């Protein structure tokens, strides 16, 4: 993927999940820019489909416990779809989907990954799913209220949304002050990635010109969407490395190992 490192690095800093929106429509020019970007992403990632739907979201987001997942007001939403038989479907969808989220953030739009609390049937009726396709997540899109509303603030406090684990808990080896700058920026940018319930299911092991991502804990049930979270953090990690001028490649694994980034140095 052609990563707009500087632009998306700023977007990583700005992005935060937003659930309450003004009804204001998104300008046609922005919709067009985003559609062009999404088309390119869909062409690059065979087996994935990201789609922007311009429709009020009131019936899409159901909300569960408290207000987790309750979304109101947005004039459009994104859907993140993949064929589950595609190898590493979740990692790729998280990675590609976060690119769209960060591009939308750069256009001044609010978003919120939602993988649990949405109405599958309602989304399905907007999509005409093809054989085998599965909707993994959706996100509202639009102009959020200027400041998070009280409901949003309470929700964020309940899931400790603003907090991230310190690097020393996320990195499995001892942090070495001699690690190059790109490693530290890559880890720090990955650390800021969003995840469902802010569970941060990723761990990292730094090697010679490599960073390996692993799932935390032994539960690597492929039906759980932790690998979607990991795909999101993979894009963040790569943005961080590129911000320091370092390109690299990903290799995917099965089980507890998720993927390894090798820097082209
Ligand atoms: C893959 C994924 C699924 C998520 N699913 C939900 C959801 O079902 N409902 C919800 O309200 N928030 C959901 N979230 C939002 C997370 O709670 C939020 O990203 C996390 O608490 C970190 O907060 P932040 O995005 O503001 O940094 C999801 C996030 C991700 C990345």
Cβ of 170 below 6 Å from ligand 1: no
**7 C-beta neighbours (distance < 10 Å), count:** 13
CA 155-196-70 angle, to 5 degrees, is 40
Neighbours of 168 (CB within 10 A): 8
At residue 148, the pLDDT reads: 78
Q: Is residue 193 part of a domain?
A: yes
pLDDT score at 217: 79
Would the CB of 222 count as within 6 Å of ligand 1?
Answer: no
Could you tell me how many helices (H) and strands (E) the chain has, helices first? 8, 8
> Is the CB–ligand 1 distance for residue 84 below 6 Å?
no
Q: Do 143 and 198 have their domain in common?
A: no
In a domain, 162, yes or no: no
- Note whether residue 161 is domain-resident: no
Structural domain harbouring 248 = 167-263
Q: Residue 236: which residues within 8 A CB-CB, separation 6 or more?
A: 12, 98, 189, 190, 191, 192, 193
Cα(193) to centroid of ligand 1, in Å? 10
- Distance between CA atoms of 206 and 155, rounded to whole angstroms? 34
CA nearest neighbour of 97 among 191, 224, 228, 214: 228
Same domain, 137 and 201: no
DSSP single-letter state for residue 196: G
Is the CB of residue 105 below 6 angstroms from any atom belonging to ligand 1? no
Question: Does residue 117's CB lie within 6 angstroms of at least one atom of ligand 1?
Answer: yes
Residue 247 counted as domain residue: yes
CATH number at residue 26: 3.40.109.10
Q: Is the CB of 232 under 6 A from ligand 1?
A: yes
Looking at the structure, do residues 90 and 121 belong to the same domain, yes or no? yes
Residue 40 in domain: yes
Co-location of 224 and 118 in the same domain? no
Please tell me the predicted confidence (pLDDT) of residue 67: 56
Residue 89 belongs to some domain of the structure: yes
Is residue 161 within 8 A of residue 98, CB to CB? The reply is no
**Chain centroid, CA 140 distance in Å:** 13
The residue to mutate among 14, 17, 135, 192, having the most atoms of ligand 1 within 8 angstroms of its beta carbon, is: 17
The alpha helices in the chain, defined as continuous H runs, are 5-14, 28-44, 89-106, 120-127, 150-158, 167-170, 181-191, 226-243
Helices assigned H by DSSP within 1-144 = 5-14, 28-44, 89-106, 120-127
CA-closest residue to ligand 1 atom 11:
69
CA 217 – CA 34 distance, rounded (Å): 37
Please identify which residue in the block is written with the tokens 């090798």: 262
Residue nearest to atom 5 of ligand 1 (CA): 114
Q: Tell whether 152 and 175 lie within a shared domain.
A: no
CB of 68 shorter than 6 A to ligand 1: yes
Tell me the HSE value of 73 on the side-chain side, using a 13 A CA sphere: 14
How confident is the model at residue 119, as a pLDDT? 87
Residues 24 and 138 reside in one and the same domain: yes
Domain finish residue from 96, 130, 156: 156
Using the 3D structure, point to which of 109, 128, 156 is the last residue of a domain.
156
Ligand 1 atom 31: residue of nearest CA: 195
Q: What does the pLDDT profile of the chain (265 residues) look like in tens digits?
A: 999 999 999 999 999 999 999 989 999 999 999 999 999 999 999 999 999 999 988 878 876 655 566 788 999 999 999 999 999 999 999 999 999 999 999 999 999 999 988 888 899 999 989 888 999 999 999 999 887 777 777 777 777 778 999 999 999 999 999 999 999 999 999 999 999 999 999 999 999 999 999 999 776 676 678 999 999 999 999 999 999 999 999 999 999 999 999 999 9
Number of domains, the chain: 2
pLDDT at position 23 is 86
Residues 20 and 136 in one domain: yes
| One domain, residues 18 and 71 | yes
Regarding whether 87 and 183 lie in a shared domain, the answer is no
Query: Is 240 among the domain residues?
Result: yes
> Measuring from atom 16 of ligand 1, which residue has the nearest CA?
196
Same structural domain, 95 and 210: no
Does residue 134 sit in the same domain as residue 247?
no
pLDDT, position 184:
98
Q: Quick one: 173 and 243 in the same domain?
A: yes
Output the domain CATH number for residue 246: 3.40.109.30
Torsion angle of alpha carbons 21, 25, 29, 34, nearest 10°? Answer: 50
Non-local CB neighbours of 128 within 8 Å, separated by 6+ positions: none
- Domain-ending residue, one of 156, 182, 199: 156
93: in domain: yes
């Amino acid at each position: 993927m052609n990563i707009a490192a500087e632009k998306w690095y700023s977007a990583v800093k700005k992005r935060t999940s937003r659930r309450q929106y003004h009804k204001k429509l998104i300008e046609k020019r922005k919709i067009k820019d985003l559609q062009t970007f999404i088309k390119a992403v869909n062409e690059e990632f065979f087996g994935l489909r990201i789609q922007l739907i311009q429709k009020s979201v009131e019936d899409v987001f159901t909300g569960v416990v408290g207000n987790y997942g309750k979304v109101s007001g947005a004039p459009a939403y994104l859907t993140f779809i993949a064929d589950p038989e595609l190898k590493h479907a979740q990692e790729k969808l998280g990675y590609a989907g976060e690119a769209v989220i960060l591009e939308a953030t750069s256009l001044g739009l609010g978003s919120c990954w939602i993988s649990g609390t949405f109405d599958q049937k309602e989304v399905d009726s907007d999509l005409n799913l093809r054989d085998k396709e599965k909707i993994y997540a959706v996100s509202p899109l639009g102009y959020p209220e200027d400041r998070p509303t009280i409901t949003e603030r309470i929700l964020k406090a309940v899931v400790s949304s603003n907090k991230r684990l310190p690097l020393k808990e996320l990195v499995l080896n001892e942090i070495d002050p001699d690690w190059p700058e790109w490693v530290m920026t890559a880890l720090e940018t990955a650390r800021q990635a969003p995840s469902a319930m802010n569970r941060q299911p990723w761990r990292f092991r730094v090697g010679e010109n490599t960073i390996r991502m692993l799932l935390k804990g032994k539960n690597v049930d492929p039906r759980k969407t932790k690998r979607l979270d990991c795909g999101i953090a993979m894009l963040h990690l790569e943005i961080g490395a590129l911000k320091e001028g370092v390109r690299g490649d990903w290799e995917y694994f099965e089980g507890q190992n998720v993927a390894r980034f090798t820097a082209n140095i």
